[in-house]
Structure 1
Amino acid sequence: MKKIKIVLMSFLLAGVFSCTTEDLNPALDQNKEANGGITNVDNLYAVIKGAYSRMTGSGYYGRDLIVTNEVRTDNCFSNGNSGRFTTQAGFAYSNTTGFFWDDAYRVIESANLIINTDLSQLEGDQEYGLHLQGQAYAIRALAHFDLLKQYGQKHVTGGVTPGGIPYVTTYLSNQSTQEELFPPRNTIEEVRVKLFEDLEMAFNLMEDTGDTNFFSKYAAKALEARVAVYFEMWDTAVDAAEEVIDNGGYAIVPAENYVASFESDGGSNIIFELEFNSTDNLGGNSLGYIYRTTGGGSYGDVQVIDEVADIFEDTDVRGLFDGTNGILGYEGDMLRNIGKYPDNQGYDNVPLLRYEELILNYAEALLNTGGDALTQLNKIPANRGASLYAEATIENILMERRKELMFEGFRFEDLVRTGNDIVKYSIQQNFTETIPYGDSRLAWAIPLAEMDANSSMIQNKGY
Structure 2
Amino acid sequence: MNMKTKSIYTIPSDWRIFFLKYISQILIGLSCALLLFSCEELLDVEPPRNQVVSEKVFASDETAEATAKGLYADMLSQAAFGGTHVSLLALTGLSSDELFYAPGDEPTMMQFEENTLMADNPLVLNLWSSMYQSIYSANLLIERLQTASQVTSETKKQLRGEALFIRAFSHFYLVNLFGDIPVFTTPDYRENSTASRTEISVVYFQIEEDLLEAQDLLDNTYPHGDRVRPNKATATALLARVYLYMEEWEKAENQASIVIDDTNYGLVDFNSITLSNNKEAIWQLHSSSLVANSATNEGYYFNLPSGYNALREEFLNEFEPNDIRKDEWIRLDVSSFLAPYKYKVSAPGANRSEYSTVFRLAEQYLIRAEARAHQNKLGDAIADVDVIRQRAGLALIADSNPGIGQQDLLDVILQERRLELFTEWGHRWLDLKRTGRATTVLSVLKSGFTKEDELYPIPQEELNNSPNLNDQNPGY
TM-score bucket (shorter structure): 0.7 to 0.9
Measured in 2, the distance between the counterparts of 1:381 and 1:138 equals 31
Map 1:11-160 onto structure 2 (within 5 A). Answer: 25-28=31-34, 29-30=38-39, 31-33=47-49, 36=52, 37-38=54-55, 39-40=58-59, 41-57=61-77, 59-62=79-82, 63=84, 64-80=87-103, 83=106, 85-97=109-121, 98-119=125-146, 121-152=148-179
Structure 2, unmatched stretches of 5+, are 1-26, 40-46
3-state DSSP of counterpart to 1:100: helix
* Among 238, 244, 252, the residue aligned to 2:267: 252
* Among 207, 211, 214, the residue aligned to 2:229: 214
TM-score (norm 1): 0.81
* Among 184, 189, 192, the residue aligned to 2:204: 192
Alpha-carbon distance, 1:369 to partner: 1.7
Amino acid at match of 2:181: I
CA displacement, residues 126-173 of structure 1 (integer Å, 9 cap, x when unaligned):
111111100000000000011001111xxxxxxxxxxx2111001227
Alpha-carbon distance, 1:414 to partner: 0.6
3-state DSSP of counterpart to 2:221: coil
Measured in 2, the distance between the counterparts of 1:123 and 1:357 equals 40
Alpha-carbon distance, 1:22 to partner: 5.3
CA displacement, residues 261-285 of structure 1 (integer Å, 9 cap, x when unaligned):
33x212110000111467389x999
3-state DSSP of counterpart to 1:329: strand
Amino acid at match of 1:209: T
Q: State whether residues 222 and 241 of structure 1, in contact with CA within 8 Å, keep that contact through their aligned partners in structure 2.
A: yes
* Counterpart residue number, 2:182: 166
3-state DSSP of counterpart to 2:469: coil
Map 1:273-422 onto structure 2 (within 5 A). Answer: 273-276=284-287, 279=290, 286-293=297-304, 296=305, 299-319=306-326, 321=327, 326-331=328-333, 334-345=336-347, 348-371=354-377, 372-389=380-397, 390=401, 391=404, 393-408=409-424, 409-422=426-439
Alpha-carbon distance, 1:363 to partner: 0.7
Amino acid at match of 1:462: G
Measured in 2, the distance between the counterparts of 1:195 and 1:395 equals 28
3-state DSSP of counterpart to 1:462: coil
Alpha-carbon distance, 1:23 to partner: 7.4
Alpha-carbon distance, 1:124 to partner: 3.1
Measured in 2, the distance between the counterparts of 1:345 and 1:99 equals 26
Larger relative contact order, structure 1 or 2 (CA cutoff 8 Å, min sep 6): 1
* Counterpart residue number, 2:474: 461
Measured in 2, the distance between the counterparts of 1:129 and 1:332 equals 48
Determine if the alignment matches structure 1 residue 265 to structure 2 residue 265: no
Q: State whether residues 58 and 285 of structure 1, in contact with CA within 8 Å, keep that contact through their aligned partners in structure 2.
A: no
Alpha-carbon distance, 1:242 to partner: 1.7
Measured in 2, the distance between the counterparts of 1:144 and 1:199 equals 11
Compared CA separation, residues 332 and 44, structure 1 to 2 (3 A): closer
Structure 1, unmatched stretches of 5+, are 1-20, 153-163
Q: State whether residues 137 and 202 of structure 1, in contact with CA within 8 Å, keep that contact through their aligned partners in structure 2.
A: yes
* Counterpart residue number, 1:443: 455
3-state DSSP of counterpart to 1:54: helix
Q: State whether residues 151 and 444 of structure 1, in contact with CA within 8 Å, keep that contact through their aligned partners in structure 2.
A: yes
3-state DSSP of counterpart to 1:33: coil
Measured in 1, the distance between the counterparts of 2:272 and 2:207 equals 34
3-state DSSP of counterpart to 2:415: helix
Alpha-carbon distance, 1:311 to partner: 2.0
Measured in 2, the distance between the counterparts of 1:120 and 1:32 equals 17
Amino-acid identity (%)? 27
Say what the alpha-carbon RMSD is for the aligned residues: 2.7
Measured in 1, the distance between the counterparts of 2:322 and 2:344 equals 22
Give the number of equivalent residue pairs: 408
3-state DSSP of counterpart to 2:198: coil
Measured in 2, the distance between the counterparts of 1:285 and 1:314 equals 30
Q: State whether residues 276 and 350 of structure 1, in contact with CA within 8 Å, keep that contact through their aligned partners in structure 2.
A: no
Alpha-carbon distance, 1:355 to partner: 0.3
Amino acid at match of 2:283: F
Alpha-carbon distance, 1:182 to partner: 1.4
Measured in 1, the distance between the counterparts of 2:159 and 2:296 equals 30
Alpha-carbon distance, 1:462 to partner: 1.7
Compared CA separation, residues 424 and 449, structure 1 to 2 (3 A): closer
* Counterpart residue number, 2:243: 228
CA displacement, residues 429-463 of structure 1 (integer Å, 9 cap, x when unaligned):
6x434x24xx2221111111211111211221222
3-state DSSP of counterpart to 1:300: coil
CA displacement, residues 394-441 of structure 1 (integer Å, 9 cap, x when unaligned):
110010001100121310111110000343588xx6x434x24xx222
3-state DSSP of counterpart to 2:253: helix
Alpha-carbon distance, 1:60 to partner: 1.2
Measured in 1, the distance between the counterparts of 2:442 and 2:134 equals 35
TM-score (norm 2): 0.79
Amino acid at match of 1:375: A
Measured in 2, the distance between the counterparts of 1:248 and 1:268 equals 9
